[in-house]
Structure 1
Amino acid sequence: MHSADFRVRAPVSGRMRILYAGRQARRNPAYAVGVFILLVFALMENQLRSESYSNIDTSEVRVLSVRDSRDRHMKVKVIHQDRDVKIPNLGKSRPSRSTDKTLRNGGHKILSNRLHNSSRKLRHRKNSWQEKPILTIRFDGRLGNQMFEYAAVYAIARKKKMKIFLTRNHQLNKIFHIDESVIVRKPCGGFTNVNTPCCGYDATTLDRIQNNTCQRIFGYFQSWRYFESLLGNVRRQFTFRRNIIQTADAKLWSVVNKHKKYPSKPQHVDAVSSRMRSQKQVRVHLLQYVRRGDLMLPIRVKQGRRAAPKQFYLRAMDYFRRLHHDALFIVGSDSQQWAAENLAGPDVIVLKDMLPEVDMCILSRCNHTVMSVGTFGWWVGLLGRGRTVYYNQPFIHTSETAAMYSGYEQDFIRPGWIGMS
């Protein structure tokens, strides 16, 4: 082999290439300059490539597989929320068989359609609330007011064929078995506000509710006329949860057992009452709800509100004593000390230190109702059984409150209830 042939033929292995390049550089300085220029360009290309990859969000990049140095390439995949995006492979690499097969068979349109359909489904799920008209209400007041508000919005939604938005952790959800078939948990992107006057029945409210959009109602709705046609459904909406019923039954059993010897083994109060009635040995349980606390505040007095006086309760108790000689009065109140001092008697028991929902459950399981003033007592009378006696002078007739409750007897008081002063 001649020397010229050795100079022309480049060696195959990497080490021999380096030796060959060094020998040629010593013999020919121009060759050394060319090798240097090539190295500079190679370094610049690597720098540009590294900068282009540095722009990628590495927080969502995971290395899926790394080949060894013999194959001289690395396969990297970027994981995004919507779809997977591949970074171009470094050097030669084996393409994905499934993707390559799809593309070879003319699958570009198929892949494009899949991406379009997935993005369209995503947009549909994101804006699905727009296809469902939802009705909600701004809940104000305490338990009795909130029950009125929910009952009204429930009836309006049923008539308008709409859904109700109610959060899962709302107070009413924790106390009652609210019907889940009319409830949605995801709110609208925005609600249109609908204001209603306080506090009686407004016949125009139903007409102002549009069943093609999402709306929020403002108002107290202290009238049974909003849900008159769905009264049975509303009663079922306000079925107490089991834990509250158990607590109420245990308390009712304990106070009743102090006045009458029932079987030693505790049973459900209704079952005991039914059994003992057949033997004509049971007392009639009557409830009284005494509301005084907030009604005695100066601002309430200035508005013309009145708390039921002691004479009203005594008169109502005498009325039921004439009807039932074995009556037992169970009193719930926000002023327990006043009730114990003014309504004391051998047939009177004042409930103490009970939660409002437990109080309501106990009182609603009695035979008859004596209602003073307010929405709490109203719901006790509706959910209970038997006769209901109410205080018929809850405000001064020339006061601000009288103007708000101009239809008190028609809108608030149920037909058949007995008024006393």
Structure 2
Amino acid sequence: MRGATWDMTFYKNWLKGDKQNATTPRINFKQKITTDNKRTTAMINATTPRTRELSSISYKIVKMTTVRPDSTKKPKHFMCLRPIIGRLGNLMFQYASTYGIARSKGMEVIVPSKQRLVNIFHLHLGSRVLNNTSMCKNVRTKREIRICAFDKEVMHFDNNKNTALEGYLQSYKYFENVTDEVRRQFKFQDPIQNKADQVIRDIYKRHLENENNKNRSWTFVSIHVRRGDIVNHPNGYKVAPREYFNRTQNMFRSLYKNVLFIVCSNDIKWCKGNLQTENTYFVEGNSAEVDMAIIASCNHTITSVGTYSWWSGWLSKGLVTYYFPPAKEGSVIRTQYSKDYSDYFLPNWTRVTL
């Protein structure tokens, strides 16, 4: 079987409410996807040695490269999660990076109970969530140099003193030492996941109303389209164009026999007018966290640009494509990434350059 798929048995069990035999499908990290080299190369213009061809991708947990956490010692000191200006994706990076650094230093993380992430995920599984965080007011502060690059100096401090991190900390390298722990904490709370599951069930039910779609196994691919505030952004963000989504949709159709696309976006009107519509469903009217749960519940993900799209792909675990480059050369935002973007994008993700 080439990839996890949703079949009729799964669908029937899910509609009956049989959670035990109808869990949300996930990708096996040990699964290896192969495809014709020539066809793949024609569809994906991989321009750097770091970009992996689809024919050589093998899903596995990224090897740890930073200090391993010591879980045998009770933390004596703490790190504070300081709120920043930003939405869901930004907040997730700040928490995950702070947590990863704290674990590598043998410290615990203090999270204010009013923090937005507390009501979306299960942060209490790894951090102390408190109503009163006054102990964080006068602690030492560490700041990053660049927003989207790994800064080793951020991790160089005495762990015998309480510390707060300030910044966006948008690099997976800060928390690759605790990937499994972050995944457990970034599990959506039940009301959010249940809503996402219902949306997917409704889409699948509607999809099977067409007799031609029955008695087949379907691979679910989510598409996140970020537009809105970053279109013509003065700091130099690039917007993934129509050609990127068409190319990646065709790519997945070449990899899997029956593909169903689910689209989430802050500009659904643009999506309906520009994306391929065959076996494609557009999701509207949900919160940002429900949309992210929908995207993450699919087998594979087509991301666009921005941290929200990044985290949606990271949570999905399957094959993830991303538009490259995400910033205009010479722009303000380009200076915030590392030279080759390797601090930001995971090495096993698939880069698509037009």
Task: Tell me, in whole angstroms, the C-alpha distance in 2 between the residues paired with 1:240 and 1:197.
Answer: 31
- Deviations along 1:292-325, whole A, 9 cap, x unmatched? 111114xx2x322110001100011011111123
Task: Tell me, in whole angstroms, the C-alpha distance in 2 between the residues paired with 1:237 and 1:230.
Answer: 11
Report if aligned partners of 1:366, 1:385 keep a CA contact under 8 Å in 2: no
Q: 1:338 corresponds to which residue?
A: 270
The alpha carbon displacement at 1:336 in A equals: 1.0
1:101-250 to structure 2, matched below 5 A, reads 132-185=77-130, 186-187=132-133, 188=135, 190-199=138-147, 200-208=149-157, 210-250=158-198
How many residue pairs align between the two structures?
271
User: Is 1:283 matched with 2:222?
Assistant: no
Query: CA 1:294/1:339 → structure 2, altered by over 3 Å: closer, same or farther?
Result: same
The alpha carbon displacement at 1:135 in A equals: 2.9
Query: Larger Rg: 1 or 2?
Result: 1
Relative to its length, the structure with more helix (as a share) is: 1
Task: Tell me, in whole angstroms, the C-alpha distance in 2 between the residues paired with 1:375 and 1:134.
Answer: 23
Report if aligned partners of 2:79, 2:165 keep a CA contact under 8 Å in 1: no
TM-score calculated relative to the size of structure 2: 0.72
Kindly provide the amino acid, as one letter, of the partner of residue 226 in structure 2: R
Instruction: Indicate the structure whose relative CO is greater, using CA pairs within 8 Å and at least 6 residues apart.
Output: 2
Report if aligned partners of 1:304, 1:400 keep a CA contact under 8 Å in 2: yes
Task: Tell me, in whole angstroms, the C-alpha distance in 2 between the residues paired with 1:249 and 1:179.
Answer: 24
Q: 1:116 corresponds to which residue?
A: none
Query: CA 1:408/1:378 → structure 2, altered by over 3 Å: closer, same or farther?
Result: farther
User: Is 1:375 matched with 2:307?
Assistant: yes
SS in 2 for 1:412: coil
Name which of structure 1's ranges 158-167 and 233-242 shifts more when overlaid on structure 2. Answer: 158-167
Q: 1:348 corresponds to which residue?
A: 280
- Deviations along 1:262-306, whole A, 9 cap, x unmatched? 9xxxxxxxxxxxxxxxx9722111011000111114xx2x32211
SS in 2 for 1:251: helix
Report if aligned partners of 1:163, 1:184 keep a CA contact under 8 Å in 2: no
The alpha carbon displacement at 1:180 in A equals: 4.2
Kindly provide the amino acid, as one letter, of the partner of residue 139 in structure 1: I
The alpha carbon displacement at 1:255 in A equals: 1.0
Kindly provide the amino acid, as one letter, of the partner of residue 286 in structure 1: V
The alpha carbon displacement at 1:230 in A equals: 0.8
Query: CA 1:280/1:383 → structure 2, altered by over 3 Å: closer, same or farther?
Result: farther
Q: 2:10 corresponds to which residue?
A: none
Task: Tell me, in whole angstroms, the C-alpha distance in 1 between the residues paired with 2:80 and 2:129.
Answer: 10
Report if aligned partners of 2:223, 2:262 keep a CA contact under 8 Å in 1: yes
Q: 1:390 corresponds to which residue?
A: 322
Task: Tell me, in whole angstroms, the C-alpha distance in 2 between the residues paired with 1:157 and 1:150.
Answer: 10
RMSD between superposed Cα atoms in Å: 1.9
The alpha carbon displacement at 1:366 in A equals: 0.4
The alpha carbon displacement at 1:133 in A equals: 3.8
1:16-27 to structure 2, matched below 5 A, reads none
Query: CA 1:227/1:280 → structure 2, altered by over 3 Å: closer, same or farther?
Result: farther
Task: Tell me, in whole angstroms, the C-alpha distance in 1 between the residues paired with 2:127 and 2:120.
Answer: 17
> Tell me, which stretches of 5 or more residues in structure 2 are unaligned?
1-75
Task: Tell me, in whole angstroms, the C-alpha distance in 2 between the residues paired with 1:172 and 1:195.
Answer: 21
- Deviations along 1:101-125, whole A, 9 cap, x unmatched? xxxxxxxxxxxxxxxxxxxxxxxxx
SS in 1 for 2:198: helix
Q: 1:363 corresponds to which residue?
A: 295
> Tell me, which stretches of 5 or more residues in structure 1 are unaligned?
1-130, 263-278
TM-score calculated relative to the size of structure 1: 0.61
Report if aligned partners of 2:123, 2:129 keep a CA contact under 8 Å in 1: no
Report if aligned partners of 1:284, 1:324 keep a CA contact under 8 Å in 2: yes
Kindly provide the amino acid, as one letter, of the partner of residue 214 in structure 1: N
Task: Tell me, in whole angstroms, the C-alpha distance in 2 between the residues paired with 1:212 and 1:172.
Answer: 27
